[in-house]
């Protein structure tokens, strides 16, 4: 059983005002096939955790470990992490001018698999996945995320997820900005990916709405750079009803 394990992770960033400590000892273990929802107030460090897993150079890991089946992820480059099976759908996907969706996906797939995908099945796979996500064919020839609406960017992230078939995916607010129909389509995409590949998922979200479609096995509450509480799906309902007040002591605000 494949496992992504994070222990006592401390992460900081350098800013013009000096070092800012963001993660203060995160412990999280995800097994393949499990869905973990992470909820928590704005600025509590959820995206920072996602970036630290993906290897964003801005985020300095000061201590703690991230391992994938016992292998040290922190020693891997961003590319190596992707090849090892880690995938991040970003909260704010970036535009890549001059690179079409088709070329981007093919390059990514080739880099991850170590060989180019066979052209015929690959084109069919792209067409099928785009149809599943109700993405118009014209997106294949558009530049990555350039002029995409918020919801279109999120669908493109799930298109990557479907085609790249990672072992573990971190989905950072993939539900934000989606209309009701798109939410269902994106959730179906995630569930399909889980059924076909059995991947493990970390789903960062502010809303229980998506958790009605993507059923979490565990819910974690992120506060001030660490996990303050964890539980089952019922915890998400409680957070929606009560908010985060009971976690926000003067010591851990901001
Ligand atoms: N590059 C950076 N430079 C300065 N501060 C940063 C940087 N990245 C993150 N931070 C700070 O770290 C804290 C955590 O940010 P992060 O984006 O991880 O929060 P979040 O939990 O994802 O919030 P949200 O729910 O609003 O997306 C914030 O106070 C943020 O301003
Ligand atoms: Mg965030």
pLDDT for residue 68: 98
Report how far ligand 1's centroid is from the alpha carbon of 9 (Å): 16
* All structural domains of the chain: 3-247 (3.40.50.300)
pLDDT for residue 224: 96
Which ligand sits closest to the CA of 43? 1
Two tokens at 98?
């001059």
pLDDT for residue 238: 94
Report how far ligand 2's centroid is from the alpha carbon of 91 (Å): 6
DSSP-assigned letter for residue 205:
-
CA-closest residue to ligand 1 atom 29? 43
Report how far ligand 1's centroid is from the alpha carbon of 207 (Å): 18
Two tokens at 209?
């709405």
Pairing state of beta strands 18-31 and 3-15? antiparallel
- pTM of full prediction above 0.85: yes
pLDDT for residue 172: 97
Which residue matches tokens 């929606």? Answer: 240
Are 76 and 55 contacting, i.e. CB atoms less than 8 angstroms apart? yes
pLDDT for residue 248: 85
Instruction: Please tell me if the CB atom of residue 216 comes closer than 6 angstroms to any atom of ligand 1.
Output: no
Residues in a beta bridge with 201 = 35, 169
pLDDT for residue 1: 74
Instruction: Please tell me if the CB atom of residue 226 comes closer than 6 angstroms to any atom of ligand 1.
Output: no
Distance CA 147, CA 28 (A): 36
Are 106 and 117 contacting, i.e. CB atoms less than 8 angstroms apart? yes
Report how far ligand 1's centroid is from the alpha carbon of 42 (Å): 8
pLDDT mean by block of 10 residues, the chain; 254 residues: 95 96 98 97 97 96 98 97 96 95 96 93 95 95 96 95 97 94 95 96 96 96 97 94 87 60
């Amino acid at each position: 059983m494949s496992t992504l394990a994070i222990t006592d992770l401390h992460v900081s960033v350098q800013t013009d005002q000096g070092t800012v400590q963001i993660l203060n000892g995160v412990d999280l273990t995800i097994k393949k096939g499990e869905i973990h929802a992470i909820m928590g107030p704005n600025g509590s460090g959820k995206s920072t955790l996602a970036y630290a897993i993906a290897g964003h150079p801005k985020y300095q890991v000061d201590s703690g470990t991230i391992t994938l089946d016992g292998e040290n992820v922190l020693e891997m480059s961003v590319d190596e992490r992707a090849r090892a099976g880690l995938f991040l759908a970003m909260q704010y996907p970036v535009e890549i001018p001059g690179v079409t969706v088709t070329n981007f996906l093919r390059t990514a797939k080739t880099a991850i698999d170590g060989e180019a995908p066979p052209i015929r099945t690959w084109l069919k796979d792209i067409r099928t996945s785009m149809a599943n996500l109700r993405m118009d064919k014209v997106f294949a020839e558009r530049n990555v995320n350039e002029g995409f609406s918020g919801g279109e960017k999120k669908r493109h992230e799930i298109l990557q997820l479907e085609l790249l078939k990672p072992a573990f995916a971190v989905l950072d607010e993939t539900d934000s900005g989606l209309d009701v129909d798109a939410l269902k389509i994106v959730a179906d995409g995630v569930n399909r990916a889980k059924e076909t590949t059995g991947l493990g998922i970390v789903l960062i979200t502010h809303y229980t709405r998506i958790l009605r479609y993507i059923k979490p096995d565990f819910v974690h509450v992120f506060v001030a750079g660490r996990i303050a509480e964890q539980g089952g799906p019922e915890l998400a309902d409680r957070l929606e009803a009560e908010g985060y007040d009971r976690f926000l002591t003067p010591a851990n605000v901001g």
